[in-house]
Amino acid sequence: MVQLLRHLWGEDQATRLAHFKWKHVDNPYAENPLGIVALHRGEVAGFRGYFAARWRAGRKGRDFILLNPGDTVVSPDHRNKGLSLRMGHKAAETYAARYPVFLNTSCSPNAAPGYRKLGFYELAPKFPLVLYGKEKKLKDLLPQKLRKTVKKSRIYRLILSAAVRKGVAFMPDGKEALDESGGILVADKPRTDDMLRVAARENEGGAEKIKLFKDASFFRWRFLNNRKKYLFFFSRAEGAVNGYLVLEIAPHDTHHGKILDYAECGSGALAGICRHILRSGSFNKLSIISYGLDDRLLEIMRSLGFTRFASRREALDGGDSGLHLLVRPVKQELSEADWHIGGLDIRDFANWEVRPICDDGA
């Protein structure tokens, strides 16, 4: 299976093995790796993996294990024969007795038609929202088509490669740092107890939604992804952490931070973190997947002067294919009751709280 996954994860076998172990073997919410394997004369011809996570419907409602379909790959010799769809149907049949919902957060443009054939419902649009701080680079002010031309130029590639070699110099591995006021802590590893406490307190007064259940197992395991690099920002008040924000560092642009997760249990905590990021100069661009930006964070970003919130049309013009979050009950034959969990309709995005960290590829 891992050999076949080179078509998705690259040629380095050791990296693939470590990633498979983290994602499917060490996953604390599955007793065994979850996936459908297609064999042809004893050889692996296809694989469809499922990423398990614990979710909760309502503040004190039903806990359940949700499955993220992903890592679907078919050997080149067996493509265009409906094998991916057959594995998807087999998964619905196999897992129906134990798991209620599939939520696809990482569907590619090529895979989207297949998921629609499998009966997945389009829950919400998915496209990148790019937020620029007050200090924009010259290329950021250029029209979209001209920016694409600049990115293809030799001089731009040389500058970019130099920036990648320099890396994120402001945070040595394994270290933590305070800003001058002592109110913001920056670390390259999660502070599990603090994050757990903030997430739990935020949930106490939240709306009745279907949301990721962030327990100690989740925080200890989730950020061990060997293919990603993360940075953690913590707001402190009166000696206690009252908010956090997690960034993924873009691999080819260390000054671009991707917002993956955030929470606060104290007024102004997230605003303070975002203000610190803006003033530090470490990042000149932040981005977040559209479904993960709530009204609270949107207002904070606007109040701090972050600009250029990409519209959906702009994202489409920039090459996005209009992808969606996709949801489906884990059953072959569906009834109306199957679309409800804990009294909430899973087809209504207003009933969900989804952060980018829910994506199995984040």
User: What angle (nearest 5°) sits at the alpha carbon of residue 221, between those of residues 215 and 225?
Assistant: 140
Dig out the tokens for 342 from the structure. Answer: 């804990």
Backbone angles phi, psi at 111, to 5 degrees: -85, -20
Tell me where in the chain the CATH 3.40.630.30 domain(s) lie: 6-125+322-358, 128-317
319: left (phi over 0), alpha (psi -120 to 50) or beta: left
Homologous superfamily assigned to 6-125+322-358: Gcn5-related N-acetyltransferase (GNAT) (3.40.630.30)
The total of other beta-carbon atoms located within 10 Å of residue 233's CB is: 24
Q: Write the Ramachandran bin of 106: left for phi over 0, alpha for psi from -120 to 50, otherwise beta.
A: alpha
Reported pTM? 0.84
Q: What CATH architecture is 128-317?
A: 3-Layer(aba) Sandwich (3.40)
Residue 148 has what pLDDT? 53
What 275-283 contacts at long range (C-beta under 8 Å, 24+ apart), as own/partner pairs, is 275/304, 276/179, 276/183, 276/184, 276/233, 277/233, 277/245, 278/133, 278/134, 278/304, 278/305, 278/306, 280/170, 280/179, 281/135, 282/168, 282/170, 282/255, 283/133, 283/247, 283/255, 283/256, 283/257
Cα dist. 215→3, 29, 317 in Å?
33, 11, 39
CA distance 7 to 266: 45
Backbone angles phi, psi at 270, to 5 degrees: -65, -35
Contact between residue 185 and residue 239 where contact means Cβ atoms under 8 Å apart: no
Mutual angle of helices 295-303 and 269-280, in 10-degree steps: 40
Per-residue pLDDT of the chain (362 residues; tens, 9 = 90+): 999 999 999 999 999 999 999 999 999 999 999 999 999 999 999 999 999 999 999 887 889 999 999 899 999 999 999 999 999 999 999 999 999 999 999 888 888 899 999 999 999 988 888 887 654 454 544 455 555 554 454 543 443 343 333 333 344 455 566 554 568 999 999 999 999 999 989 888 778 899 999 999 999 999 999 999 999 999 999 889 999 999 999 888 888 899 999 999 988 999 999 999 988 888 878 889 989 999 899 899 888 888 765 554 444 444 445 688 999 999 999 999 999 999 999 999 999 999 999 998 88
pLDDT at residue 62 in the model: 86
| Partners of residue 352 on adjacent β-strands | 210
Q: Which amino acid is at 287?
A: S
The C-alpha atoms of residue 263 and residue 255 are separated, in whole angstroms, by 23
Reference 242, options 195, 277, 298; nearest CA is: 195
Which residues have C-beta within 8 Å of that of residue 327, sequence separation ≥ 6?
101, 102, 103, 104, 120, 121, 123, 346, 347
| 144: alpha, beta or left? (left if phi > 0; alpha if psi -120 to 50) | alpha
117's tokens: 């054939």
Task: Count the Cβ atoms, other than its own, within 10 Å of residue 279.
Answer: 14
